[in-house]
A and B are shown apart, each in its own frame.
Chain A
């Protein structure tokens, strides 16, 4: 049974970096058939996909247009986890952040989700 466990601070100051980690159990971050995603949700922006990391003989990333210049998603094979870093945050980045596994069946399906982390950007 695949599970994702998120961790990270719930409060970040403006202009600083938001950092979250998602620990994977029951699957591997190096899986050749899965991708590892970050998604956020706020009342003003709805569900917003932030990006993903995946391994297909080499590591690759895709990032959402709205955060492309500020985001990094990294895998950590030694700990079987992946992380989100979002730089230069503003109050607009206040949201519930989710990590999720996606499969391509062939369509993209976000089939396993983490529990969510409420992150508030405020001084």
Chain B
């Protein structure tokens, strides 16, 4: 029962586009910036998006982020088999004074 809500899984074919949603509340996403993380099996999470839509150095522009109200979305275009991973959204929760995460979305590239 994570504070932020993500779909458990999404899938798409290589070369296609996929979006992953992250739903929160006025106390977290509604007031703060969202970040996204990619976790490959057996590895630590890796930052993909910060401040809703910025990419860290080295992250390709196939990855994009957006936020509207109390929800955020991660988009991935030109899907590759190497994109198969778990994806997590995260943000600051103002009233809890804590970082909160979504439950994660498993991306399958068919």
Q: Which residues of B sit under 8 angstroms from A113, Cβ to Cβ?
A: 44-46
B10 within 8 A of A: no
> A115 — which chain B residues lie within 8 A by C-beta?
44
Whether B35 is near chain A, meaning CB under 8 Å from some CB there, is: yes
Decide: B100 and A49 in contact? CB cutoff 8 A.
Answer: yes
Residues on B with beta carbons closer than 8 Å to the beta carbon of A109: 35, 47, 50-51, 56
- CA A62 to CA B92, docked complex, whole Å: 12
0 or 1 for each of B1-34: is its CB under 8 Å from A? (1 = yes): 0100000000000000000000000000000111
Which of B34, B45, B50, B91 sits near A47, CB closer than 8 Å? B45
The residues of A that contact B91 with a CB separation of less than 8 Å are 107-108
State the majority secondary structure of interface residues on A: strand
CB distance from B100 to the nearest CB of A (A): 7
Does A106 touch B at the CB level, under 8 Å?
A: yes
Chain A residues within an 8 Å CB radius of B34: 107
Is residue B96 within 8 Å, beta carbon to beta carbon, of the partner chain? Answer: yes
Least Cβ distance of A47 to chain B in Å?
A: 4
Q: How many residues of B contact A (CB 8 A)?
A: 28
Number of A residues near B (Cβ < 8 Å) is: 25
Which one of A48, A62, A108 contacts B35 once the chains associate, using CB atoms below 8 Å? Answer: A108
Shortest CB-to-CB span from A115 to chain B, Å, is: 7
Q: Are B96 and A65 in contact, CB atoms less than 8 angstroms apart?
A: yes
In the complex, A103 Cα to B91 Cα: how many Å?
12
B-to-A contact residues, CB < 8 Å: 2, 32-35, 37, 44-47, 50-52, 54, 56, 88, 90-92, 96-104
